[in-house]
Structure 1
């Protein structure tokens, strides 16, 4: 095999595997669109499919092909991840709320000091 052709082939395979990695890495939470740009639909596994429970729900790309470039994510996993994201956001909001309360108390103390200095 020609070394240049082999190099081009390896680069193409590396680019393909990098894209697969990016697609799988981006499958977190409930997505609205697939990596290919198509919208995701909610589907249920038919009763004839034996690799999963009948009626198992998925978020699936409208143009889904089993090539790794399209989303087909179990509904349960997507919802669990989304709840995890929401929980982290809630914890950050509570942290910010406690900081706001501290700043309000400090602000009141500074206002009292300014009033003493002006009097």
Structure 2
């Protein structure tokens, strides 16, 4: 919870600074937002390691092949990157680019999910036989 409060505080302070700076230099305001996003994501990255180790342990103990969890991890990572990227594009006033980022993210998520979908298809075919 402490990390969430720190991240929210840093982002609010950065947003207020960006509002002040935006009048004189919109480009600087955008760079300030990007810098804040990178700092917060790096801080959250350390906490994310704990979650990843727990999910690895969960995968080992469940008896499910670890290869089935990899597409899930990749899809979640893509979703997080796309959300931040789309928001930054919208902040820069580029709604069309934000939509392109989101569409590209959806396609990438489907591509990384193909191994999982193939496994489901093979299981369904085995059940039908």
TM-score (norm 2): 0.28
- Structure richer in helix, relative to its length: 2
The structure with the larger Rg is: 1
- Structure richer in strand, relative to its length: 1
TM-score (norm 1): 0.29
